[in-house]
Amino acid sequence: MKSIQYQLSLSFEQVLNLVKQLPEAEKVKLSQELSQELLDSKLTGLLEACKTDEVSLEAIAEEVEAVRTETHARQSAH
């Protein structure tokens, strides 16, 4: 059996009214799906913003070592 796909033009208010008619379990599932989609979108944006060829692996390793040294010095002082 073939799956049929329909497209509807709905306003935000129409979608909201439909969502309000859903059973609680389906509202929870919809909320989880929307949260995951938003999280995926934000993570993708963050990764794209952080992409660069300007930082070498060596520079990253040096910075990590500097932070570790600083953290160790603070912990030893207490």
Say how far apart CA 4 and CA 31 lie, in whole Å: 25
**pLDDT tens series, the chain, 78 aa:** 788 888 999 999 999 999 999 999 999 999 999 999 988 888 888 888 877 767 788 888 888 999 999 888 888 876
Q: In this structure, is residue 7 part of a structural domain?
A: no
Asked whether the whole model's pTM tops 0.75, one would answer no
The count of structural domains within the chain is 1
Helices (H), 1-78: 12-20, 24-50, 57-77
Q: In this structure, is residue 45 part of a structural domain?
A: yes
Q: In this structure, is residue 19 part of a structural domain?
A: yes
Residue partners of 18: CB distance under 8 A and separation at least 6: 10
What residue numbers bound the domain in which 72 lies? Answer: 12-77
Q: In this structure, is residue 4 part of a structural domain?
A: no
Q: In this structure, is residue 1 part of a structural domain?
A: no
Q: In this structure, is residue 38 part of a structural domain?
A: yes
